[in-house]
């Protein structure tokens, strides 16, 4: 289980100063953590990716799997930093060719994820990446899809985690969960 950087650490303070909190979005009572400002400044974005890379590199993943859509931004950049390959997991109808799909339930309905058939080799070690861990439903479904097509989930990596929502409890153990910022 990951531990948050000390609130007084220079990296933690620097990143938190850039993350924008938007009240009442997407509905009243929600504090939305907008992580996209981290990407605007190349120096901050590099610090962010390097910080997450230090956390997940010991997991020794062969591939990074990024969840649509912001998981593509984080996952692809992280794969480049770590020198690993990248595979997207998408919403229905976005990938060409044969796909494997998984329907799953969310707190407000259902959804579906897809991965291209043959995107993973049997037994490949996979790190599932997204920008934010909230309730955990989508990341858990992504892990199930990875396992269904023969991958081994060795961990999860997130830029931020909303701890009060308990998302990490929905993720399959014993795969570690690494979150750079905890809210």
Residue ranges of domains in the chain: 10-182
What are 12-53's pLDDT values in tens digits? 999 999 999 999 999 999 999 999 999 999 999 999 999 999
Query: Cβ distance 161 to 168 under 8 Å?
Result: yes
For residue range 152-176, list pLDDT tens digits in order: 999 999 999 999 999 999 999 899 9
Catalytic positions, written as ranges:
70, 107
What's the whole-model pTM score? Answer: 0.93
Strands (E), 2-151: 20-23, 31-34, 63-67, 85-89, 99-106, 109-116, 125-133
Other CB atoms within 10 Å distance of the CB of residue 168: 20
For domain 10-182, which CATH number applies: 3.40.50.2020, 3.90.180.10, 3.30.465.10, 3.40.50.2300?
Answer: 3.40.50.2020
| Cα Dmax for the chain | 49
Q: How many angstroms from the chain centroid is the CA of residue 168? A: 12
Residue 75: per-residue pLDDT: 98
Residue 116 has pLDDT above 90, yes or no: yes
What pLDDT does residue 57 have? 98
| 49: phi then psi, degrees, rounded to nearest 5 | -65, -40
């Amino acid at each position: 289980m990951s531990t948050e950087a000390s609130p007084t650490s220079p990296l933690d303070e620097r990143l938190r100063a850039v993350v924008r909190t938007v009240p009442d979005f997407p509905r009243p009572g929600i504090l939305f953590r907008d992580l996209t400002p981290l990407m605007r400044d190349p120096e901050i974005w590099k610090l962010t990716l390097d910080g997450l890379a230090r956390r997940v590199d010991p997991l020794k993943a062969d591939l990074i799997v990024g969840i649509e859509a912001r998981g593509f931004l984080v996952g692809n950049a992280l794969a480049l930093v770590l020198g690993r390959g990248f595979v997207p997991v998408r919403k229905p109808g976005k990938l060409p060719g044969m796909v494997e799909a998984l329907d799953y339930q969310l707190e407000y309905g259902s959804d579906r994820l897809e991965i291209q058939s043959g995107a993973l080799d049997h037994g490949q070690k996979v790190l599932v990446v997204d920008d934010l861990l909230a309730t955990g439903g989508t990341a858990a479904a992504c892990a199930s899809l990875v396992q269904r097509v023969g991958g081994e989930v060795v961990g999860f990596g997130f830029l931020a985690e909303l701890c009060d929502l308990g998302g990490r409890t929905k993720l399959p153990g014993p795969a570690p969960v690494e979150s750079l910022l905890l809210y």
